[in-house]
Homo-oligomer: A and B are copies of this chain.
Amino acid sequence: MKKIGFIGLGLMGKPMAKNLFKKGFQLIVYNRTPSKTEDFKKIGVPVASSPEELSKEVDVVITIVTDHEAVREVLMGPNGAFNGARPGTVFIDMSTILPRVSIELSEKAKEKGFHFLDAPVSGSTWAAEQGTLAIMVGGEKKIYEENLEVFKALGEKIIYMGPNGNGSYAKLINNIIGATFAAILGEGICFAEKVGLDVSALIEVLSSGAFKSPLIEFKGPKMMKADYSTQFSLNLMFKDLNYMVETAKEKNFPLFLGALTKEIYQAIKNKVNGDLDYAIIVEFFRSLIQ
């Protein structure tokens, strides 16, 4: 079995690393905030003192951290994993970052004799725990195939997207669609409240037709009850929307709905705690009619 170094034990990373351990991979972990490594120490997983140390004797380094600044830091910063890894090491970045940065990192990796896959995930922390994430992978197909066993330990649906950057492109498109769908759901629910509809009956209607989906099923009731306990935070969604807007600009692509969606998320982010669930987008619309 491959030996894996895992960097980033956040809401998603922690259950993912645990799944690799359960499936029998040799594991070593690193996290910037050391307290998050305690669970792993208890079960005998070694904890590295830096990404550089972690990378020294592994076949694969997985990163799943907040944004591209964090990925750059853990890979290319002082004590970064690129300093310690042996030639041939496979870097799998599962963070959601700018496709441009995924491509840049893949080029730097290649210069040093490493391999690089951008492989962001979609799915909740629950899916991370169950090992049922969707994973969209960009990079050399041969390397993707050689590491399929790693992906299969983490996800249910593994989709090869093409060369480096394509995993990140797919993830940003996925999230701008999700963010816009959630926003129009919020707009619709708020209009229903305005005209005095029974919102739970409306959610039943919405769940009976062409867009019956987990998003309607889970975010609809959260919006109705103003329950913003976090499944995926407003801050993270906003970050991804900004990445999408920036990427569209780089490609001279005129965003319409996506751009307006980003502005709506900006507006509500100025008013609420961004660590809450992005279902809180409904409050943007409520704030307009109160």
Contact = CB atoms under 8 A, between A and B. Distances in A.
Copies of this protein, total: 2
The range of chain A's interface size is: 35 or more
A116 to B, nearest CB: 18
* Contact residues of A: prevailing secondary structure: helix
Interface stretch (A11-19, A107-115, A190-198): A190-198
Contacts of A173: 188, 191-192, 197, 202, 206
A164 to B, nearest CB: 12
Given A169-B195, A187-B258, A289 B253 contact: yes
A174 to B, nearest CB: 6
A94 to B, nearest CB: 14
A218 B209 CA distance: 12
B248 A191 contact: yes
26 contacts: A122-B209, A156-B208, A159-B201, A162-B196, A169-B197, A170-B201, A174-B206, A177-B188, A180-B184, A181-B181, A181-B184, A181-B211, A183-B256, A184-B261, A187-B255, A187-B256, A191-B248, A191-B251, A209-B214, A211-B213, A211-B215, A252-B289, A256-B260, A256-B264, A256-B285, A260-B260
